[in-house]
Amino acid sequence: MMNQKAQDLGLTSTHFVTPHGLDQDEHYTTAFELAKLANYALKNKTFAKIVNTSHYSVNINGHIKPLNNTNELLGSLDGVYGVKTGFTNGANRCLVTSCKRGNLDIICVVLGCDTKKDRTLDSINLINYTFNNFSMVNIKDIINKNFDDWKKEHLNSFNINKGVSSNLDLYFNESDIPYNSMLVNKSSLDKIFTSINYTSNFEAPLCENTVIGVMEVNLNDKNLFNLNILNSNTIERKSTLFYIEHFMKNYFSYFSTS
């Protein structure tokens, strides 16, 4: 059952032999997959409450027994709300820590430390390094703002040859954005940009949802993903009647002002 659940969660480098976790040759996992497992477990409200509890007292046959959480960072390091310590002779001292500050929520995994002090200091250093050097950025908001600015500058640059209009209503599918937010090094916050390659001349009729260009989303000159830019309105081709009406309108207009 445990191995089936691991497969369901995509933990391809995890294998269970015993439910208690003591050392066995075929009982193994990785730091990354422990983080994935912890992230999944924290979605369970009961589990999340337990691992965020520093102290608890239970009544055993009329006797009060105090229980103390062995996670030394819980209640001592800003933002820590779990998860679990661990130790076996093969694994040494281990600690999986969940920590949230502002809109950045991380899971830190430290394995194979010789002492509790080592795992505590390593975890603190990794956690503080992450929060000091990285920020969560709402990439969706950046894309929308840049697209709106681009439209204000370029909407009048389109020409629909023989079309009744050259006014396009442009959009992109927000569902095509693979993620709304992303972790970015603070030194690169000003290096998130978009560029749009587009065609400005078309021949009518132009059907709705025609791709008129592609928006490239980049970070540090590295392409993250692309989005198709489309028009939401149909531009009909000018008919013979259109040209006749246009001629007659200009003809009578000319003589009425002569």
Which domains, from first to last, does the chain contain?
A: 2-136 (3.40.710.10), 158-240 (2.60.410.10)
Cα separation of 11 and 1, whole Å? Answer: 14
Phi, psi of 4 (to 5 degrees): -65, -40
160 Cβ contact list (under 8 Å, min separation 6): 166, 168, 202, 203, 204, 206, 235
How many residues are given for the chain? 258
Cα separation of 21 and 17, whole Å? Answer: 8
Cα separation of 111 and 243, whole Å? Answer: 78
Q: What is the pTM of this model?
A: 0.79
| pLDDT value at residue 257 | 57
Cα separation of 188 and 190, whole Å? Answer: 5
Sign of CA pseudo-dihedral 109, 112, 116, 118: negative
Cα separation of 114 and 184, whole Å? Answer: 32
Q: In tens digits, what is the pLDDT along the chain, a chain of 258 residues?
A: 999 999 999 999 999 998 888 899 899 999 999 999 999 999 999 999 999 999 999 999 999 999 999 999 999 999 999 999 999 999 999 999 999 999 999 999 999 999 999 999 999 999 999 999 999 999 999 999 999 999 999 999 999 998 888 899 999 999 999 999 999 999 999 999 999 999 999 999 999 999 999 999 999 989 999 999 999 999 988 775 555 555 556 555 655 555
| pLDDT value at residue 253 | 62
CA atoms within 13 A on the CB side of 89: 3
